[in-house]
Amino acid sequence: MKIRERGFALITVLIFFLVLLILGVGGAVITQMGYFSIGSEAKYVIAEKRANKALISVLESGICTGNQETGVKVIAIKDSGNNYCFVWSEGRYLGAKVIKTSIFPLKASNWSAAMYRNLNNLSGIGGNSAIVGYDSPENACTDPNSCIAPALITGNLLNPEGLVIACNTNPNNLGSGLISTVTPYVNDETLLQTDLTSKLFNAENRNQLLQNLSENFQVEFENGIPKGLVDPKKELNVNSCTASGNTITCGEGGNADIFTWDPTKKVYIYNKDGREYSRIDFGQNAQITFEDFSGGGFIAGNNISFSQKADVNPTSHLILVARNQITISENNIKISNTFMFSKNYNIDAQNLTIGNGIIYSGGAGVGNLNINVNSGTQLGTSANPILIISDNNINIGRNGNADIWGAIFVTDANNNFNVGYGNGNFKIHGVLISNSLNNNNINLSGNFEIRFNFKVLERLYTNLNQLNLSLMHSPICGASKKKLFITTTMRVY
Amino acid sequence: MVNVNGTQANLISCRLSTDRNDNYYYIWQGEKIVNYNGSGLPPIYKLSELNPNNQDCIKNFIGTPNAQSSALVVNFNETASTYTLQPGDIIMRVPHKVRLYAKSTSDGYWLYLNKTDMATGTNEEKMLAKLKDLDSFKVYAQGHTLKIEMGFQSQSTPEKVLKIERYFAR
């Protein structure tokens, strides 16, 4: 008789959750119990918290694996299609035992190809353009180990057309519309109140991000504008410099200032005093032009540009700070392991390859980051993705066949972000995140595809981490909270 | 639903009891109920050959499928479509509409449950537990969340009071 009574109570609990689900609630249920002086109740509370903690750890990570530690046992099991994870979490404390179960989707990440807190305008969907929650051949929808996400998440409510649930695999063309094998479009109103900086970075907001960048790259910021280097070891005030081979030369003839890179000591040796410097500020007026160059270290000036066919391939990473503008407008330029900081950018070139680095445009809307990728251009590569951060006007378009590999992050200080103009085959592989509540527009055209590629994010993190840069945190695929099924059941012994 | 082996489906069953006619299920695939076009009520399916048919996924779960059924399920009125279960399908009992309320009885105030089975339309009223007093059952709306405060009184001697706050959140 006792057994029947207990079973009935559990059915009642189950009914509660079924009702919640039919209301469209992929919901979480939090149970709180007040404080009880009775010893067994206190034990129960501790056991429940242990079960909760273990369950939430799995849900937060999105990784379907079990775990066992003092007072906690977690069993996790996937279905053969790798669609869902069933988690069984047991908390124990001095004879009290609480078990909680949950089901969460493995293929619906809490990322998306394009994530906007506020997207003012979405147009161009329906031609040959697409935003896709996966990529191909890497992070493909056919691979059970891929991290598949919605195509688009916005904080404000849109009613986009062209929603497609499909698994397309042609690496050259993944279709048209908002495409994913999970929900292609998600409206998450909590994004309007959520700072997305911590989605990528070891920082919770823009100020912390700037602090983090400053510590990692020794860049001095003033309201986001790169103003120079932190504690420069050598300061000059010159007009024109050329970086070529392993030297930076300013001026001409016998009076020229020449800095020669020592790849072993990772310092420049100055011809006028024979001393070693790793951080050099060439001054407010310096125009520095890069040709083929192998030097690293920290270099600051006013404007920085790259000559045609320049191959900047430093032996250790190179930090460039331009107070005004960085210009990459010549063709056939290669830049790697270079971390660029400037107010303005003009990137408009063919056959440009930038691998493993940062393009940072700062100044809370006072500058411009114009990226017009032309034929053959690769901003970031598959193996060496790039991180683009901007709190200035940012315009991304293209003419010709081109790719961006990596993460594009738009800060909350940004006032204008447009992506999509131009013609040709253009693909962004990685993620695009706009933390800005200001003017954000997507206007797709041609064969423009924004594809979510979690592997690219992982490599971006790994590459930065290998340089001992603690800028990003390790990306976690995670589980979409919008699609969480929870059935919570408890037993007390 | 963990996997399908030929005509047999292996699943994790949290079904608790078979003491009543409960073979009414919605089958969820992702966020959608299968074969549901959005109008009217979703199709209700019944499982066949569920074995064991009273499995509990809470106690003694070892991380493997704990029940089998036929992969083929049929519409409960047996006139409409069939469906073949697929890995990742979530099979849930057609829900009940539930109303919780406090009611005065000769034995003090009790928490009552009135539930309507949305599969069969049957209605049932049950006494759940004895409340401490009328003020012991309170419901608050907090945005998208419902907060329920309950204070239960044991029927043992000496009497004990159990206070519970429960949040139902979107």
Q: For chain B, give me the number of helices (H) and strands (E)?
A: 0, 15
Helix or strand or coil: residue A76? strand
Specify whether A483 is located in the same domain as A458. no
Q: Which DSSP category does A257 fall into?
A: E
Residue A132 has phi, psi (to 5 degrees) of: -125, 135
Residues in chain B within 8 Å Cβ distance of A29: 166-169
Tokens of A110: 């809490």
Predicted pLDDT of residue A7: 42
Give the pair of three-digit tokens for residue B149.
């405060």
Within-domain flag for A409: yes
A324 and A277: one domain?
Answer: yes
Within 8 A by CB and 6+ apart from A379, the residues are: A347, A352, A354, A359, A371, A373, A386, A388, A402, A403, A404, A405, A406
Phi, psi dihedrals of residue A398, rounded to the nearest 5°:
-160, 160
Q: A264, exposed or middle or buried, with CB in 10 Å at 0-12, 13-18, 19+?
A: exposed
pLDDT in tens, B26-51: 998 766 788 888 788 889 998 888 88
pLDDT digits (tens, 9 = 90+) for A436-480: 888 888 877 778 899 999 999 999 999 998 888 889 988 877 766
Same domain? A201 vs A95: no
Residue A131 in any domain: the answer is no
Q: Is residue A117 part of a domain?
A: no
Q: A396 and A321, same structural domain?
A: yes
Helix (H) or strand (E) holding A54: helix A39-61
Among A6-10, B108-112, B134-138, which is the least confidently predicted range?
A: A6-10
Residue A221 included in any domain: yes
From the list A155, A153, A149, A158, the residue with the least C-alpha distance to A180 is: A149
B93 to A14: CB separation less than 8 angstroms, yes or no: yes
Pull the structure tokens for residue A291: 């040709």
Indicate whether A445 and A483 sit together in one domain. Answer: no
Residues of A in contact with B87 (CB under 8 A): 79-81, 83
Same domain, A379 and A445: yes
Same domain, A430 and A483: no
What is the token pair recorded at B160? 């004990």
Domain tally for chain A?
A: 2
Q: Is A4 on the interface with B (CB under 8 A)?
A: yes
Q: Would you list the DSSP string of A136-188?
A: SSTT-TT-TTS----SEEESS----S-EEE-----TT---SEEEESS-SEEE-
Closest residue to B2, CB basis, from A34, A80, A489: A80
Residue A205 has pLDDT above 60, yes or no: yes
Based on the domain organization, do A362 and A248 belong to the same domain? yes
Across the interface, whether the CB atoms of A83 and B87 are under 8 A apart is answered yes
Q: Could you report the per-residue pLDDT of A152-185, keeping only the tens digit for each?
A: 999 999 989 889 989 999 998 999 999 998 889 9
For residue B113, the chain A residues in CB contact (below 8 A) are 12
pLDDT of A35 strictly over 70: no
Nearest to B90 by CA among A76, A83, A106: A83
| Tens-place pLDDT, residues A230-259 | 999 899 999 999 999 999 999 888 899 999
- Range of A268's domain? 190-466
Identify whether residues A203 and A98 lie together within a single domain. no
Considering only the beta carbons, identify the residue of A20, A75, A79 that sits closest to B168.
A20
Q: Give the residue carrying structure tokens 């079924």.
A: A18
Measured distance CA(B33)–CA(B71) in Å, rounded: 17
The pLDDT mean for chain A works out to: 84
Burial code (b: 16+ CB inside 10 Å, e: under 16) for B106-124 equals eeebbbbbebebbbeeeee
Q: Are residues A368 and A420 in the same domain?
A: yes
Distance from CA of A121 to the nearest CA of B (A): 27
Please state which of the ranges A40-49, A229-238, A334-343 shows the lowest mean pLDDT: A40-49
Structure tokens at A375: 């034929």
The CB density around residue A437, as the number of other CB atoms within 10 Å, is: 17
Q: Can you tell me whether residue B148 is helix, strand or coil? A: strand
CA nearest to A3 within chain B: B17
A483 in contact with B, Cβ within 8 Å: yes
Q: Which of residues 364-403 of A touch B (CB under 8 A)?
A: none
- Chain A residues with CB-CB distance to B169 below 8 A: 27-30
List CB contacts (< 8 A) between B94 and chain A: 18
Residue A30 contacts B, CB cutoff 8 Å: yes
A352 Cβ contact list (under 8 Å, min separation 6): A328, A331, A332, A333, A334, A335, A373, A374, A376, A377, A378, A379
* Model confidence at A483: pLDDT above 60: no
Range scoring the smallest mean pLDDT among A322-326, A394-398, A446-450, B126-130: A394-398
Residues A163 and A66: their CA atoms lie apart, in Å, by 35
Residue A219 lies in a domain: yes
Contact A83 B97 (CB under 8 A): no
Which among A108, A92, A101 has a CA at the least distance from the CA of A45?
A92
A38 contact B CB<8A: yes
B58/A182 touch (CB, cutoff 8 Å), yes or no: no
Q: Kindly state whether residues A212 and A102 are assigned to the same domain.
A: no
SS3 A390: strand
Q: Answer whether residue A12 is part of any domain.
A: yes
Residue A426 lies in a domain: yes
What is the C-alpha to C-alpha distance for residues A290 and A242, in angstroms, rounded to an integer?
A: 6
Would you say A405 and A382 are in contact if contact means Cβ atoms under 8 Å apart? yes
Q: Do B90 and A33 touch (CB under 8 A)?
A: no
User: What number is the ipTM of this complex?
Assistant: 0.76
A451 and A483 co-located in one domain: no
Residue A57's pLDDT band (cuts 50, 70, 90)? confident
Asked if B58 lies within 8 A of A14 by C-beta distance, the reply is no
Tell me what the mean pLDDT of segment A36-45 comes to: 69
